[in-house]
Chain A
Amino acid sequence: MRYIPNTPDDRSAMLRDIGVSSLEELLEPIPAELRLNRPLAIADGKSEWDVRREVMELAALNQSAMNRACFMGAGSYDHYVPAAVDALGMRSEYVTAYTPYQPEVAQGTLQVIYEFQSMVCELYAMPAANASLYDCGTALSEAISMARAHTKRTRVVWSEAVNPAYRRVAETNNVALGIKFDCARCPDGSQSHEALSMLLGDDVAALVVQYPNFFGVVDDVRKLVARAHSNGTLVIFVTDPMAMGVLTPPGKLGADIVVGEGQPLGNYMSFGGPYLGLFAASNELIRLMPGRIVGVTKDVDGRRGYVLTLQTREQHIRRDKATSNICTNQGLLAARATFYMSMMGPTGLREIGEASARRTMYMMDKLRSVAGFSLPHRGPHFREFLMTVPGSAEEFVIYMAARGILAGVPLTRMGLSDDRGILVALTEKRSVAEIDAYVEHAATWLQGGAK
């Protein structure tokens, strides 16, 4: 057993010192009728090589962004992860440490989180951020329960332009708290639509807007925000951090709470996890924030140091009075995001945003010239758009995959009914040649007789 150092002799000696004749005596508190009196029906342990071969065979069954040009997004994006992020992110000092309960020997993790919080505040132009939550869906859930706690109201208003996967998580997690959700249709892909505004009222705890929205559209939500605030409603922004080099940050648009998916910041798509939920809030909401928060302090010799702070908010102290049960952050993912944000700096963030957006505009322009394909949403996009194909979206995607392209996410996979709609995303990794090939194949598919 290569991970267990004690030898049979060690065990005998230890049992002797314990004062028992066998392990069985130590197991005595477990009643015989509750024992599993047979070996586990799991194959015997294997050599590392055998294990590696089996797991690699599984990995090889997947079509991934590593061997296909990936145009899929909808909450998970194929941005480039620099080698230095991987190298630092594999250091066992970060990987194999626990939650920083003993700050004297966790200054590495704690300072990284403090830098992370500082960077998230800068991205979103918000005064406070936590150490991260599980993912964007859970961050939105927590934002909503926080808005409920602050306003003592139980209605939430949002629209179809908020990622349906995030909405599903937020509904599941808040159903027991009695929160009701009103969802506006967005036939034109915009949240500026009057239908959303009409749902607001003085019984609404929170308005949730996604910016840029689920369809990639950059809505101007300022009037909507003002309308919500006039009713004492908090405004929650769901905001892609990668847009923050080019777009006005939510903090400048009146956001009370901002959540986002941190995966694009130096983390892999990894089939949906582990990710990290970004979470930022206004000053007056700090003491209601969920999750870990790191603050600066001094040690007895006057040296600068870092500790977990405002812990009286948390479950291990407040127990049934706590407003959240979360007792960890996504530490390693947050560390990777910190390494990545340090490397890209303000210039890199702007350049990646522009590179992604310019490729998106280029591709949209080209697709508009392909007969049969349409782009239903007008207005400015960021790095994603909705495309309607002349036939089955699923069949189109299969056709494209055979040509080395992961063409996008059919809306039906996200539980939406439009079986011709595909969400297409572009990052700085997509080359003009890949985009051109995509458009050519799309045209060929059409000629081949789409069903």
Chain B
Amino acid sequence: MQSETQLIFEQSKSGRTGLQVPATPENLPRYTPPAGLARESAPRLPEVSENIVVRHYTNLSTRNHHIDRDFYPLGSCTMKYNPKINDEMSALPGFAGLNPWQSPRSAQGALQLMWELSQSLIEVTGMDAITLQPAAGAQGEFTALLMFRAYHLKNGNVRKRIVIPDSAHGTNPASIVLSGYGVTQLPSDENGLMDIEALKRTLDEDVAGLMITNPNTLGLFETKIAKIIDLVHDAGGLVYMDGANLNALLGIARPGDMGFDACHMNLHKTFSTPHGGGGPGSGPVAIKDKLSKFLPLPVLAKKGDQALWDWDRPDSIGSVHTFYGNFGMLVRALTYIKSLGGNGLRAISDNAIINANYLRKKLSPNYLIHMDRPCMHEAVFSGNNQKAKGVRTTDIAKRLLDFGIHPPTVYFPLIVPECLMIEPTESESKETLDEFIDVMLRIDREAGETPELLKNAPYTTPVRRLDEAGAARNLNIRFFSDDQS
């Protein structure tokens, strides 16, 4: 049998193909590219038959951990079950075969679907308007910041800085810089929340706004959020909620009611669209009315019963996606919302919160809980107890792999030493959580008794610990190292 790690290129043999192209009648003209622009040497794509392709990629697929197989408690990533019906609906021929330039009249089904999803997301967030265009959370952040920028410029204010807490996702500062602002990072207070006094000291007419994740990346609700928002508004700034952790709030509290001017939501987290090994995602941005004239082009509108595109928006920031965003993800998200309904969305957050607090309580005797009080949808621990026994959080993470469990998010947020950020989601049963707890307690015992066992883990995975530094040092990012002749 072939080695599992063989590359598709290594199975190539001249003369094989996996695709038969529809015949072209002989009487059609021959195609001759312009002089000097005919390809001379063919690209070295693999030459393999269809069944070789299917076997190769089926074999490769078995080397992945995935949510259908087992627990995946990656904090802030909301690895919940992705219902099968959602995928099937997005693949319906009436959606999959739709060219994006079709007239609104010939694509009413797609536009009505986007409209209905928009209305649902506006209700969930308590906002006034929305764009479905951003293809990911980071693009949603960036889109909102461009709208903040347009808002300030329209009002004749050239502001220079955006404030973030030190617990922010790395995309926040990167998005800020790309939208033309500087970053002011504030330390969290002793409760793991935004430091109001520090915020007051930094607010001035240069501050364009604040970006804050709520619940924050420590899994804590920012209890003083209303006060924080007032302070920023009083200073003439706008406030953005990074909605990465919206799974904790559905039907409980809404960013719009808290006073936020804009927030994104990750459809690939809260609304169950699958992560696809890193994408596609979808990061719609909901906003208050004062920002609506800056929405990206085109804006979905309704005239009578008909949904249509409004391109006549002179103050728009432009477009952040070639077309209307990751439409296939929008179909999945609306299917999910229809399946759950308003009552089901609330049940998601209730169960996600109970699951996270259950893990917090059960693990905290052995793992150092960062903030010992009720958390929302995720619980953040430090691996410092285990570090004292000579093992790092990395070792705990790698050992979990031997038990078929994907590790939590590790070493983030940056402010927690040896951080383990655990988000179980509502998808997991008490039985699964109990098994996870048993494994975590066993690993803690192993840390004391046989630390070498952890340091050399994992043992049962398709490959063992990989030399990441070596990969960057001896860079090999393609199969053929030579250039084409």
Contact = CB atoms under 8 A, between A and B. Distances in A.
Interface string A89-133: 011111111111111111111011011011101110101110110
A223 to B, nearest CB: 11
Contact of B464 (A40, A261, A300, A409): A300
Interface string A1-19: 1111110001101110111
A40 B250 contact: yes
Contacts of A34: 225-226, 253, 257-258
Contacts of B12: 345
Interface string B76-114: 010111110101111111111111111101111110110
A419 interface: no
B24 A355 contact: yes
Interface in A140-189: 145, 163, 165-166, 168-169, 171-173, 175-178
A64 B33 contact: no
Contacts of A299: 463-467
B95 A5 contact: no
Interface in B388-411: 397-398, 401, 406-407, 409
Contacts of A273: 100, 135, 280, 321-329
A273 B332 CA distance: 13
Contacts of B314: none
A72 B101 contact: yes
Contact of B327 (A4, A249, A272, A328): A272
Contacts of B36: 220, 222, 248
Contact of A344 (B45, B74, B82, B272): B45
Given A274-B326, A295-B472, A315-B138, A342 B354 contact: no
Interface in B405-429: 406-407, 409, 412, 426-429
B477 A293 contact: yes
A395 to B, nearest CB: 11
A32 to B, nearest CB: 10
Given A44-B342, A339-B53, A339-B57, 11 more contacts: A39-B346, A42-B337, A57-B109, A58-B94, A62-B106, A163-B322, A218-B37, A318-B170, A328-B279, A355-B21, A394-B103
B33 to A, nearest CB: 6
A311 B110 CA distance: 38
Query: Residue among A2, A40, A114, A347 with the most chain B CB within 10 A?
Result: A40
A99 B124 CA distance: 27
Max count, chain B CB within 10 A of own CB: residue among A74, A332, A409: A332
Contacts of B77: 98
25 contacts: A11-B351, A18-B358, A23-B350, A64-B94, A75-B100, A93-B68, A97-B67, A137-B319, A138-B322, A271-B110, A272-B323, A274-B328, A294-B477, A307-B468, A318-B174, A329-B278, A330-B280, A343-B50, A344-B18, A345-B18, A346-B45, A355-B24, A358-B29, A359-B24, A406-B106
A332 B429 contact: no
A333 B123 CA distance: 31
A78 B45 contact: no
B476 interface: yes
Contacts of B62: 93, 108
Contact of A26 (B106, B280, B319, B374): B374
Closest 8 CB pairs of A and B: A272-B323, A172-B318, A332-B276, A59-B94, A272-B100, A176-B180, A61-B109, A45-B341
Interface stretch (A48-56, A199-207, A442-450): A48-56
Contact of A305 (B90, B99, B463): B463
A327 B79 CA distance: 17
Contacts of A301: 463-464
A324 B175 CA distance: 8
Given A59-B95, A297-B467, A343-B18, A100 B346 contact: no
A361 interface: yes
B135 A55 contact: no
B55 to A, nearest CB: 10
A40 B297 contact: no
Contacts of A57: 109
A319 B185 CA distance: 11
B306 to A, nearest CB: 11
Contacts of B85: 48, 51-52
A332 B282 CA distance: 13
A88 B179 CA distance: 39
A348 B18 contact: yes
A33 interface: yes
A328 B480 CA distance: 25
B109 A138 contact: no
B187 interface: no
Given A109-B277, A135-B322, A348 B17 contact: yes
